Structure 1
Amino acid sequence: MRGEPVANPVNLAFESKLSDAQGHERLLIVGSAARIEADGRKLVPELNDEVWAALTRDLSPGDTGTSRTTYTGSEGTERVTLCVLPKGASRHCSPSRSHFVHDLIGSNSAGDGDLGIICLLDDNDHAFATGLACARPFPLFDTKTQSKKQAKKAAKSRTAHIVLAGPKSVLKPNARIVEGANSVRLTARLVDSPCAVINTTTFTAEAKAVAKETGTKVRVIKGETLRDQGFGGLWNVGKGAEEPPALVIMTYTPEKMTKKTKHVVWVGKGMVYDTGGLNIKVGGHMAGMKTDMGGAAAMLGAFRANALSGGKQKVTALLCLAENAVDAASYRPDDIITHYSGKTVEVDNTDAEGRLVMADGLGYAAKKLNPDYIVDMATLTGAQLVATGKRHAALYCNDGDLEEIALKAGRYSGDLAHPLPYAPEFFRKDYKSAVADLRNTTKDRMNASSASAGQFLKEHLVDFEGPHLHVDIAGPCSGPDRATGYGVGLLLEMLARS
């Protein structure tokens, strides 16, 4: 079966008229203090001038934004909330301040009836990031039980009517924003779902459903066939689980292919659960490992949105799916694995499994697909959070131009990223083994271990000298309680810029 979404989720409707967001039970006006003060008054005719003046007096958003709510005392819109964004953004953050759009909407959107969300943009270029941010507060996975009264209310569909208003006019919602937002929710649903719901088999079914929806090609290599075809990393990591490991190969080809059309390959880590294997996670570190497939989930979401919005580049997505379980058949420390790249790897720690499955996907991309460039995305290392934090993914890239595209795409889309040092000559020695080409853990965890993990992956791009970007999303993949849908916007915007 496919993953189980919430019974009656909030629907998203991107509207082209301000009036479509007005007149609902609740209205949220999102924007800078300057824009709200200049253009907000006309949006709430239910309020008199005195109430509006009190509501907007001394708006001081600070670093993270603030909100103010008042009841109208009239039919139609019962509550009006001003969601005031910070005044500006630092140079390593998104000018759209999309993270705070997400946070402010999320903390002010409770209710039973429809709600309107009017985003007053400082710049039209903020529409993409803001549109995606509006989707994040409305998750699709939830198993909470309800009282009869709650169930009766939930039986009525609820819609968030979203308007993106530029400085001069309301922006017409385009397919990239609409499908990007829907795909952010898809990605977040997959990451939020436990392994009992999203395992390798059901994840594969999700990919097939996306292929059917988008009219794209999908091929699946799974189980012992992986072993027989040389995918030693995927097979060994996943062979101890109840559901078999799989490599899902999805291909989108644009309608108009020319000599200038690029072929972009994405490789996503899809560890549907990571117990650590025989080097089992202890001390509470196993809980939350349902999110270890965030890279593959992001790529599935981005693949869907790109296809439905008519992307101009050819895209092949390789989803490397496995569960690192404990079983008599589980792979062991000291095992030596032969990967699709031909490289042999000595297993030092079974809890460094993600790089083993990713190595096979990268090896396949290099040998079989002839890409113009490769992007891999993975919740790969805890060291990423130490290096670049909870909001910024870490980039390890052999090409300055591709790295710059990713940095700009991150700020534009709101999926922030920051580069790690690309210095293979400093990292290769840390993966030397006496009995194999490589070992799967670094000998020096104090030597930029998030960057060096990226170099381990790079070692499997045998005979591929083109641009390769590794994106470690261990931090931004999830917030304190929910998945963020990180990666969809970054990948879509990278395609647009390359």
Structure 2
Amino acid sequence: MARRSSARNIFPTLPSVVWQPGLPVHGSRTWVIVVGEAGLPTAAKETGERLGVDLDRLLEAQVATGFSPAAGATAAYPLLTGDVTEVLLAGAGDGSAKDLRHAGAAIARFGRGKDELTTVVAEGIEDEALQGLAEGIVLGSFTFTRKTVDPGKPLVERIVLTDGTEADRDAVLERGVVIGRTGWLARELATTPSNEKDPAWLAARATEVAGPGGLDVTVWDEKQLAADGFGGILAVGKGSTRPPRFIRLDYTPDGATKDTPYVVLVGKGITYDTGGLSLKPRESMVSMKRDMTGGGSVIATMSALRELGAKVKVTGLICAAENMPSGTAYRPDDVVKHYGGRTTEIKNTDAEGRLVLADGLAYAVSELKPDAIVDIATLTGAIKVSLGSMLYGGLFATDDALSAQLTAAGETSGERLWRMPLPDVYTDLISTPIADSVNSSKGPGSITAALFLKPFTGNLPWAHLDLSSIAESPRDEYEYSLGATGAGARLLATWLTSDNPTAGIN
């Protein structure tokens, strides 16, 4: 049964990011001056007088020793007198949201271990850029550790932003912090080790965000999954002692009517992927705790919709299982019957994500009948061959307007997408005389995976996000930390809370 959760709030404790009209009379011991390609902010002269520093000369000196205003660049300068002990120059590049997001992350990393930073930005900074700065501050603050010794410096407690004017920009900052928080939460879920994280754990986390997010939550256990015919999820979870779950989160905006647009998100929630009986090599298995990135991003997105005032009705479906080899595991040549009756012949048990997503998509079409469906997954290694690492995620879509909406949200959020083709000619590669389809074949792997999913979407406007190419950062860089990126949460939250996320979709 669906229920409204009143469980505890699992959101992380983030730095307080606040706007200060005018320059503060008593600032922090560390001041940050955000420097763009156009030079110092307008308030730099007054700031310098207050600090007793000629900021023009300081910038010239730092440029002479290698500093540039490139996005994310920093240069610290100690002060020997007065209440302020140091000034940080932080590069903002061209002043775009992307570059300000990079700058925000650099400022947050510099602020570790400090109580407060006072940060001066360009006068009249555009809303999108200021939001990007706030997002970067949150994302650059991300930390995850199970260390008991030397866990690292704590996050900066408070960052005060000002452009020296009397403007009120609190609402813009609040949106940036919440969008950034979705990325943090998705990253935290993906980074949690799988000895802690199983399908039931993921369902518990969804239940915890439901309460503060004003969501209804329903969870199917293994018995209910069997009773309702979720054959794909059950098959993938058969080999594990930790049974699968199907999780549903529902958001209804205030004042919704029967004409309110309705979107369903379907996330892959494989809490660990060994490959099953088609066992992965050790090297390929190491990062598979984050194979539930799609499901985690759906949870994180749903958590923010009410706070951000989303105007559309949204259901998030998370298809959660652990893919393990054992005497009870599903096998190559098994035939799986999905929700709704469509069948799949198994050729590779390591092509499991599409099996669980198929059940979620079929359920959405049969029971929910939305205006659009978007599934999100770390589905194939092939998408990384096509798109490389940390540049673009893969986008497949049957509706041009839906594709355009998601692409625009990707540009705004910094989680960029590249549209891939869906040519029907490759459908023959996944055909079989035994069942309606096979789950794996030779050929263009990311495309055939998308073509496998397409029949489960019931001809509704549908987009498939294969984000394996942006799910794992190889280093600490800009707003990303080494490891899982939580890809997709900021993208989806940005899209669903835009003015008209379903415009033109038919």
TM above 0.5: yes
Residues in 2 aligned to 1:441 and 1:252: alpha-carbon distance in whole angstroms: 35
Residue pair 1:55, 1:70 contacting (<8 A) in 2 also: no
1:258 deviates by: 3.1
- Measured at CA, do residues 185 and 205 of structure 1 come closer, stay the same or move farther in structure 2, by a change above 3 Å? same
Query: Which residue type is aligned with residue 112 of structure 2?
Result: A
Aligned to 2:28: 24
- Measured at CA, do residues 129 and 36 of structure 1 come closer, stay the same or move farther in structure 2, by a change above 3 Å? same
Q: Which runs of 4+ in 1 moved over 6 A?
A: 2-6
Which residue, out of 446, 452, 456, partners 1:456? 452
Which residue, out of 131, 134, 141, partners 1:131? 134
Query: Which residue type is aligned with residue 72 of structure 1?
Result: L
After superposition, give the CA deviation of every residue in 1:58-97 in whole Å (9 maximum; x if it has no partner).
6874876522111122454433222213337xxxxx7533
Residues in 2 aligned to 1:335 and 1:252: alpha-carbon distance in whole angstroms: 37
User: Mean alpha-carbon deviation: is it higher for 133-142 or for 411-420?
Assistant: 133-142
Structure 1: which 5+ residue stretches go unaligned? 89-93
SS in 1 for 2:130: helix
Structure 2: which 5+ residue stretches go unaligned? 1-6, 475-481, 502-506
Aligned to 1:305: 304
SS in 2 for 1:363: helix
Residue pair 1:333, 1:349 contacting (<8 A) in 2 also: yes
1:261 deviates by: 1.2
SS in 1 for 2:40: helix
1:171 deviates by: 1.9
1:352-431 paired onto structure 2 within 5 Å: 352-389=351-388, 390-423=390-423, 425-431=424-430
1:106 deviates by: 5.5
Query: Which residue type is aligned with residue 49 of structure 1?
Result: D
Q: Is 1:54 aligned with 2:60?
A: yes
- Measured at CA, do residues 53 and 218 of structure 1 come closer, stay the same or move farther in structure 2, by a change above 3 Å? closer
1:10 deviates by: 5.1
Aligned to 2:332: 333
Q: Is 1:13 aligned with 2:14?
A: no
SS in 2 for 1:285: helix
Query: Which residue type is aligned with residue 450 of structure 1?
Result: S
Residue pair 1:9, 1:139 contacting (<8 A) in 2 also: no
- Measured at CA, do residues 107 and 261 of structure 1 come closer, stay the same or move farther in structure 2, by a change above 3 Å? same
SS in 2 for 1:213: helix
- Measured at CA, do residues 11 and 372 of structure 1 come closer, stay the same or move farther in structure 2, by a change above 3 Å? same
Which residue, out of 468, 473, 476, partners 1:474? 468
Residues in 2 aligned to 1:248 and 1:318: alpha-carbon distance in whole angstroms: 6
- Measured at CA, do residues 341 and 47 of structure 1 come closer, stay the same or move farther in structure 2, by a change above 3 Å? farther
* TM-score using structure 2 length: 0.86
Aligned to 1:490: 491
SS in 2 for 1:323: strand
1:145 deviates by: 2.3
Taking only the aligned residue pairs, the percentage that are identical comes to 30
Residue pair 1:5, 1:141 contacting (<8 A) in 2 also: no
1:450 deviates by: 1.8
After superposition, give the CA deviation of every residue in 1:33-66 in whole Å (9 maximum; x if it has no partner).
3153544454453251165343564687487652
Residue pair 1:265, 1:371 contacting (<8 A) in 2 also: yes
After superposition, give the CA deviation of every residue in 1:395-443 in whole Å (9 maximum; x if it has no partner).
00011111111111111122211111232x1321111123111111132
Q: Is 1:238 aligned with 2:241?
A: no
User: Mean alpha-carbon deviation: is it higher for 124-133 or for 15-24?
Assistant: 15-24
Residue pair 1:3, 1:190 contacting (<8 A) in 2 also: no
After superposition, give the CA deviation of every residue in 1:357-378 in whole Å (9 maximum; x if it has no partner).
1111111011110101011111
Residues in 2 aligned to 1:172 and 1:304: alpha-carbon distance in whole angstroms: 21
Aligned to 1:286: 285
* TM-score using structure 1 length: 0.87
User: Mean alpha-carbon deviation: is it higher for 382-391 or for 73-82?
Assistant: 73-82
Query: Which residue type is aligned with residue 46 of structure 1?
Result: L
1:168 deviates by: 9.5
Aligned to 2:479: none
Residue pair 1:341, 1:359 contacting (<8 A) in 2 also: no
Residues in 1 aligned to 2:418 and 2:356: alpha-carbon distance in whole angstroms: 24
Residue pair 1:176, 1:305 contacting (<8 A) in 2 also: no
Residue pair 1:114, 1:161 contacting (<8 A) in 2 also: yes
Q: Is 1:159 aligned with 2:157?
A: yes
SS in 2 for 1:475: helix
Residues in 2 aligned to 1:64 and 1:124: alpha-carbon distance in whole angstroms: 18
Question: Aligned pair count?
Answer: 480
| Cα RMSD (Å) | 3.1
Residues in 2 aligned to 1:131 and 1:310: alpha-carbon distance in whole angstroms: 18
SS in 2 for 1:145: coil
After superposition, give the CA deviation of every residue in 1:168-198 in whole Å (9 maximum; x if it has no partner).
9452235533322222221111111111222
Residue pair 1:378, 1:472 contacting (<8 A) in 2 also: yes
Residue pair 1:70, 1:81 contacting (<8 A) in 2 also: yes
SS in 1 for 2:309: coil
Residues in 2 aligned to 1:253 and 1:20: alpha-carbon distance in whole angstroms: 41
- Measured at CA, do residues 350 and 106 of structure 1 come closer, stay the same or move farther in structure 2, by a change above 3 Å? farther
1:108-127 paired onto structure 2 within 5 Å: 108-120=110-122, 123-127=126-130
SS in 2 for 1:173: helix
